[in-house]
Amino acid sequence: MTRPDTDLHDLSLVALADQLRQRKVSALETAQHFLSRAKAHDALGAYLARDEDVTLAQARAADARLASGHAGALEGVPLAHKDIFVTRDFASTAGSRMLKGYRSPFDATVVARLAEQGAVTLGKLNCDEFAMGSSNENTAVVAVGHDKPEPVRNPWNLDHIPGGSSGASAVAVAARLMPASTGTDTGGSIRQPASFCGVTGIKPTYGRASRYGMIAFASSLDQAGPMARSAEDCAVLLSHMCGPDLDRDSTSLDLPREDFTRALGDSLKGLRIGVPKEFFGAGVSDAVRTTVDAALAQYEKLGAVRVPVSLPRTELSIPVYYIIAPAEASSNLSRFDGVKFGHRAAQYKDLADMYRKTRSEGFGAEVQRRIMIGTYVLSHGYYDAYYLQAQKIRRMLSDDFQQAFKDCDVIAGPVAPSVAWRIGEKSADPLANYLADIFTLPASLAGLPGMSVPAGFDAAGMPIGLQLIGNYLQESRLLNMAHQFQLATDFHTRKPQGIRA
């Protein structure tokens, strides 16, 4: 083997895949490098599970395929998966005591599809319990290298949260623990941590990626997506994650697999970028406002046109989401009762007592809170007043987007009102955490594709992302927009100074 052109952890996914194909580095060497790097940065709390034997066996198999000329598009590329995807070779806990040590008999479709292309799995990544949270402070499982459950730490400032619920997926990419990772986005859980950690992340149109094997939070909202350092890397990964899975996921779109790299390089001349006035109201920090405005100015230099639009029901997205999502969660999580799988209380008097103790012990405070809210809004006498009304407003939110898209091609604005806050800063006030999702929730409720693109930093050096929202099935357009921005800027190439080289 010849030596790679640069340090392996500084290579993009596309560049690393090319080095592997050219046999400049072996899949085994690559896996060993990233496993060693993971151990050196366990203080971040990114991993919930690793198994060196499993990873190295996959790497050796990848090397054999590379040698035989039967390599997949991602052959030998190391990735890790948010612990919301079930896997046969690693425990799948969804960050919860309820599933501590659980081993699935099958791989999630997203995991299987990436493995079919030769991706090597490094392990499972930390997340808010059952993907419920905006800070990654709600995990209840002990991370590798730790002796108790702790929040995942943002590599740009270890005292700050990374965002959630896919916080560790963003941290792992930002800290160069891997070139890319998988995450899930229910109300912004790919876009928000990507923004807070200075990486690129995309949530595709609802139904693009199969939910089979993804531990459910809110079934009408949950969607898988990739996180990487560049839009090009995300485009490659998303191309292999998406595709129909009709036999196993009834919400899967009956559309053929698509090459999301096909539009990379298209001109942005004349592209109409809608800027909603509701995304720049009170509560948006000066740093976020300035950074987003500078990013929009850069797009104008690239030939795009800025167009004012309105999404008048933006503020309603928070109460709507926090009715619909908990309602679906209360239904989905009812299966965790201690009978068939998962945690069961050690001592109980009767069946009802077993249910009560099992769920009290197994679920954390945030999960219990959302189950209680969801059960309440679905109960007799409240369904019409809350859940049904929320669904009606959800439709109106979708209509607002369609009205806006009559005047523009893409919508742009902040991902979050602020940069990542300090660990514990909002722990005592759940509503403050919920408010951080105000700009990501509308696209989730409408089922639209959205992404976060690194766009700058505040005075303290914390990353700020630009959110791009497209109409249904417009992922290629979003990825090209992000790609063109990244060709003109270097924000996505910068790395945390506190992380060892």
Q: Residue 341: what pLDDT?
A: 86
Q: Which residues are catalytic?
A: 82, 165, 189
Q: The dihedral of CA 229, 233, 235, 239: what is its sign?
A: negative
Q: Residue 477: what pLDDT?
A: 98
pTM score: 0.96
Q: Residue 487: what pLDDT?
A: 98
| Cβ count near 432 (within 10 Å) | 13
Token pair recorded at residue 374: 């969801």
Q: Residue 1: what pLDDT?
A: 54
- Residue spans of the domains in the chain: they are 8-258
Alpha-carbon distance of 468 to 45, in angstroms, equals 29
Cα-Cα-Cα-Cα dihedral of 107, 142, 13, 29, to 10°?
-90
Token pair recorded at residue 40: 């050196």
Q: Residue 381: what pLDDT?
A: 87
- Provide block-wise average pLDDT over 10 residues at a time, the chain (501 residues): 69 98 97 97 98 98 97 98 98 97 96 98 98 94 97 97 97 98 98 98 98 98 98 98 97 97 97 97 95 98 98 97 97 94 94 96 96 95 94 98 98 98 91 90 98 98 98 98 98 87 60
Q: Tell how many helices (H) and how many strands (E) occur in the chain.
A: 15, 11
Task: Enumerate the H helices of 333-404 as residue ranges.
Answer: 351-362, 365-378, 389-404
Note the CATH architecture for domain 8-258: Alpha-Beta Complex (3.90)
At residue 374, the 3 state secondary structure works out as helix
| CB contact set of 330 (below 8 Å; sequence gap of 6+) | 370, 371, 372, 373, 374, 375, 378
Token pair recorded at residue 377: 């809004």
DSSP character for 347? -
Token pair recorded at residue 464: 């700020």
Alpha-carbon distance of 360 to 354, in angstroms, equals 10
| Cβ count near 259 (within 10 Å) | 13
| CB contact set of 288 (below 8 Å; sequence gap of 6+) | 414, 416, 417, 418, 419, 458, 464
| Cβ count near 350 (within 10 Å) | 8
Tens of pLDDT, residue by residue over 344-387, are 999 999 999 999 999 999 999 999 999 999 999 999 889 999 99
Looking up tokens 């060709």 gives 487
Token pair recorded at residue 239: 């191309």
Token pair recorded at residue 266: 């298209």
| Cβ count near 459 (within 10 Å) | 8
Tell me how far apart the terminal alpha carbons of the chain are, to the nearest angstrom. 23
